[in-house]
Amino acid sequence: MAERLCGFESHLPHHFLSMSSRKYLLLLNPWAYDFTAYDFWLRPLGLLYLAAIIRQYTNYELDFIDCLDSSQIDASCHFCPKHRPDGRSSFFKEEVSKPEIFHHIPRKFSRYGLPYTQIESRLEKIAPPEAVLITCTLTYWYPGVQAAVELVRKKFGHVPIILGGVYATLCPDHARSQSGADLVLTGPGENQILRILQEIDGRDQFKSTDELPAFPDFDSLPWPAYELSHNTSVLALLTSRGCPFHCTYCASHLLYQQFEQRQPEKVVAEVRHFWQTLGTKQIAFYDDALLINKDRHLLKILEALAGLNPGLRFHTPNGLHPREIDPELARWLKISGFESIFLSLETSDTTLLAETGAKVSPEDLKWALCHLEEAGFDRNQISVYLLVGLPGQDRSQVVESIRFVKSLGARPRLAYFSPVPGTADWRKLVESGLLKDDSDPLLQNKLVFPYFWSRFTPEDLDDMKKEAARKSTG
Ligand code: SF4
């Protein structure tokens, strides 16, 4: 409850903190600096897992600031985020100067999330923490980290700042030299964070003098500390980490060395807990490979959730593997409350599919849509991801893919290729001289490929978007 009191809206707990001998840590999810951004059920899940570990094993108070939580926007801001009933939301944005590297791109660049002044005055009201933990979800959102670090330094001077998350893991050299953080933590942080706190502040705040705990697998972690969040009606959930596939454009295997699935009963217990204690209504499954081993994993979860009948709505923003969708799974997806279905096809070009990972075929998509329709889903409500901007990809391949998805009655959804360091497609671009090994992570922004290294022009991209949005006439 103490952490709850430390929430964004109350000032009292911070006076309380400054009078207390208890020490506290500040956890911060920074803004997104981008050409565009949208809250697609985004939650700083890694940071919330670390918060749960810290809370379980230490006496630190935790203060959590999520710059991307639109539900906390100040009334004085005169901006009303558009919250969709399914939990997605628009962000408030403030235009900022465009990075020099993007000077020729005729689009505005903005800071998305809560107003800068709101975060600034929030920090004014709190006492200096023992340390600050910052995350960053996308590599090219690192200007948000820099801005947050600068602000923290301005308010608290040389407080230790620890940076983790996707940017720190995929671009550690850049993060070490450019983020301003004191320590860059790569990979999952559960087996690192307590040791780091011990090095910074000793063991005074630890609940036990025993050896530090080890977390051998995903299920050994406590559930994320969602009660620190302001908006608990919409949560993100992971039933697994990693992916058994190795698609040439994907960083999943770089973030998680192995594919690990949780025990279904523990997932169900977690869902039940948050539904009962926090009033959660929408849950987005953020697994990379939710349907793998479905008979002993997702089906077990769905059967239990359907029996529980919590009236929750589920979403799959990361895209499901169409190959795994059979009549039984489709039926359970419907019964258990899946609302927005996103499927991954990437392209209907079978040669390109084979070259990039062969995880799916156009035929798989046809069958998946049939099964989902028979189970009661409207094809028109099913989105199918198509990749745009892959190295060597032709405009005609994308247009054909869009038409193919539309011919099946589903909605094509363009997903722009981002060249992630360490992937096969990144190496291809480096070897061909189109990117450098140490290129600025800003170039991984998924919207800039037509201006740097793709065969597509910005006009091509506009045409593709129109083609995808155009209603089928047939
Ligand atoms: S199947 Fe999806 S998550 Fe797995 S490697 Fe391919 S793109 Fe990544």
Contact 387, 394 (CB under 8 A): no
SS3 224: coil
Nearest CA owner, ligand 1 atom 2: 288
Q: Which tens digit of pLDDT belongs to each residue from 12-34?
A: 344 334 444 679 999 999 999 99
Contact 304, 263 (CB under 8 A): no
Angle (CA) 347-350-352 rounded to 5° is 65
CA 15–ligand 1 middle distance (angstroms):
47
Nearest CA owner, ligand 1 atom 8: 250
Quick one: average pLDDT of 373-384? 96
CA 181–ligand 1 middle distance (angstroms):
30
Nearest CA owner, ligand 1 atom 1: 245
Does residue 445 register a pLDDT over 70?
yes
Residue to substitute in 239, 250, 318, 387 for testing ligand 1 pocket (most ligand atoms within 8 angstroms of CB) = 250
Domains and CATH numbers, the chain: 2-201 (3.40.50.280), 232-469 (3.20.20.70)
Residue 17 beta carbon below 6 angstroms from any ligand 1 atom? no
- Please name the residue ranges forming H helices in 92-171: 116-124, 142-156, 166-170
Q: Which tens digit of pLDDT belongs to each residue from 138-191?
A: 999 999 999 999 999 999 999 999 999 999 999 999 999 999 999 999 999 999
Q: Which tens digit of pLDDT belongs to each residue from 218-276?
A: 999 999 999 999 888 899 999 999 999 999 999 999 999 999 999 999 999 999 999 99
CA 140–ligand 1 middle distance (angstroms):
20
Kind and range of the H or E element at 240?
strand 240-241
Closest approach atom of ligand 1 to CA 251: 8
Give the Cα separation of 184 and 163 in Å (integer).
Answer: 5
Contact 92, 114 (CB under 8 A): yes
Residue 416 beta carbon below 6 angstroms from any ligand 1 atom? no
- Give me the torsion for CA of 311, 315, 321, 326, rounded to 10°: 20
Closest approach atom of ligand 1 to CA 244: 4
| Reported pTM | 0.92
Residue 359 beta carbon below 6 angstroms from any ligand 1 atom? yes
Across 179-183, 261-265, 305-309, 460-464, least confident range: 305-309
Residue 243 beta carbon below 6 angstroms from any ligand 1 atom? yes
Closest approach atom of ligand 1 to CA 357: 6
Residue 255 beta carbon below 6 angstroms from any ligand 1 atom? no
- Which residues, in sequence order, are CB contacts of 237 under 8 Å at separation 6+? 267, 270, 271, 283, 284, 285, 286
Q: What is the CA radius of gyration of the chain?
A: 22
CA 454–ligand 1 middle distance (angstroms):
22
Residue 13 has what pLDDT? 40
Residue 259 beta carbon below 6 angstroms from any ligand 1 atom? no
Give the Cα separation of 172 and 159 in Å (integer).
Answer: 21
- Which residues, in sequence order, are CB contacts of 452 under 8 Å at separation 6+? 434, 435, 443
Percent of the chain clearing pLDDT 70 (strictly above): 95
Residue 289 beta carbon below 6 angstroms from any ligand 1 atom? yes
Which amino acid, 315? H
CA distance from start to end of the chain: 57
Closest approach atom of ligand 1 to CA 249: 7
CA 356–ligand 1 middle distance (angstroms):
10
Give the Cα separation of 286 and 236 in Å (integer).
Answer: 6
CA 114–ligand 1 middle distance (angstroms):
32
CA 189–ligand 1 middle distance (angstroms):
22
Residue 11 has what pLDDT? 34
Residue 248 has a CB neighbour count (10 Å cut-off) of 15
Give the Cα separation of 380 and 405 in Å (integer).
Answer: 11
Q: Which tens digit of pLDDT belongs to each residue from 410-421?
A: 999 999 999 999
Residues listed for the chain: 474
Residue 78 has what pLDDT? 72
Does residue 310 register a pLDDT over 80?
no
Give the Cα separation of 340 and 383 in Å (integer).
Answer: 8
For tokens 């108070």, what's the residue?
A: 61
Residue 1 has what pLDDT? 32
